Structure 1
Amino acid sequence: MVAITGASSGIGRAIARALRPLGARLVLNALADSELDALREEFGADAAIVAGDIADAKTGQELLAAALGRFGCAEVLVNNAGIFRNGSADAIDLDAMERMIAVNFTAVVRNCYLFARAMAAQGSGHIVNLSSISATLTTPGCGVYAGTKRAVEGFSEALRIELAGTGVRVGVIAPGTTDTDLFDRVPGQPRSSNVAVRKLDPADLADAVRYVLERPDHANIPHLRLYSADQRH
């Protein structure tokens, strides 16, 4: 059983596509919009679809309930959902910043704790949190986004240590610039501003998730960075 947040497109959907042929039983989360229909059409009865804003506390609870109710266990959680908002100190949209923190960090923490409790009770499980190159390298106007990703990494490491010996593994995957619609969803932010000579494909990140999950039970990858070979910043 693999629960994936933000599964309607980009990296989340690529992860679902990569794990499905391996026999993964999927619980997929996405916002309640037209993208859900595409998920249902592609994955059909093989997956449980949980519609809802991951920043809403009840959505994480419903994700876990779907995993336990449909498949009887909580084996893997991939916290992939994320949004990007930026702006200078004198013009930044504070409400947008709060929304980003809620999606990129608060929801990750909540989901991790919900699933970790169930996983610890069953004696096994694996949590993979998606971070970003921005956790260690940021630019003016992107401090809050970078802060959310750095916070995810710090939290994930603390949780990994806390859960050591319980059978529950925790790790982070930090991608460089990837060809997704993350920037397309930002008002006034053109896709061309997402600059790299050659971007990663979402499938590259899906392969990384698969690699992390396929390590033997006694091995855990706490942090994996994956950048384009052309990434200079």
Structure 2
Amino acid sequence: MGMNMQALNSKVAVITGASSGIGEAIAHELSAAGCSLVVTARRTERLNALCAKLPGPSVPLSAEIDDPATAQALLAMAQQTYGRVDILINNAGMLVSGSLDTIDIDALLQMTRTNYDAVVRTSYVFARAFKQQGAGSIINVSSVGAYLSHSSMGVYAGLKQAVEVFSTALRVELKGTGVRVGTIAPGTTETEIFDQLRASGKAVPADKTPALQAADVASAVRYMLEQPAHANVARMLLVSSAESV
């Protein structure tokens, strides 16, 4: 690691959707790098199990990410526990897909609240704090879906594309403040979302194509965070080498 790389030891990171999949892998990666963590998700027992396994300091907050109070609660928890906060990883997300005739519209709009509204709120709450302290990094987890148009996944893809556009605008607004904003768009990644699709009898692309592992995405996030302060990885697309996108 070059001398001008950002050392992550002693940094404080907040990770949403940390109880499984990519969020859990990011928690392990950043904890191993020396970060102190605040981790959030809905499942209390999964969060407690995660915190018990992490090598470094961590505190859990069981909450719904789309609850308007959650973003402020996460910020306060980081500041009260560690006296500071440096990094926000907006990873929490859900996947609702299906055809026009059968899709549950209410479930789609719940996905909007989770995958977009909550990202906006949490990004703004932390960006204000980061701007005030003159430093901080926000990474919003997007998806290769942002660049694809599958007919049954239009809302999911549209929300991920919205996260990309929003994140770019926020990054530009924060230029010169010391606050960095980036997105990472993982391709097909083996997570619990696939297990849910398999259980419902839907085809899972990873069953035909070797997929990324959550740890691959986590190490890419660490790479983004370790860049020198003057360098901002604005957008990263990480796909499986077997993927046709």
CA distance in 1, matches of 2:238, 2:104: 31
1:110 maps to what in 2? 121
Q: RMSD over aligned Cα, in angstroms?
A: 1.7
CA distance in 2, matches of 1:124, 1:145: 31
Matched, 1:2 2:13: yes
Using the TM superposition, name which of 1-10 and 44-53 deviates more.
44-53
* Contact kept? 1:32, 1:51, Cα under 8 Å: yes
Percent sequence identity over aligned pairs: 47
TM-score scaled by length of structure 1:
0.95
What stretches of structure 2 of length at least 5 have no aligned partner?
Answer: 1-11
2:143 maps to what in 1? 132
Match of 1:96 among 100, 107, 128: 107
TM-score scaled by length of structure 2:
0.90
CA distance in 1, matches of 2:26, 2:83: 21
Question: Could you tell me how far 1:197 is from its partner in structure 2?
Answer: 1.4
1:216 maps to what in 2? 228
Rate the CA distance shift 1:17–1:100 in 2: closer, same or farther, 3 A.
same
1:204 maps to what in 2? 216
Q: How does 1:150-229 map to 2 (within 5 A)?
A: 150-185=161-196, 189-190=200-201, 192-195=203-206, 196-229=208-241
Matched, 1:232 2:230: no
SS of 1:57 mapped into structure 2 = coil
Aligned length: 233
SS of 2:17 mapped into structure 1 = coil
Q: Which amino acid aligns with 2:120?
A: V
* Contact kept? 2:185, 2:238, Cα under 8 Å: yes
CA distance in 1, matches of 2:55, 2:47: 11
Rate the CA distance shift 1:78–1:99 in 2: closer, same or farther, 3 A.
same
Moved over 4 A (4+): none
Using the TM superposition, name which of 169-178 and 27-36 deviates more.
27-36
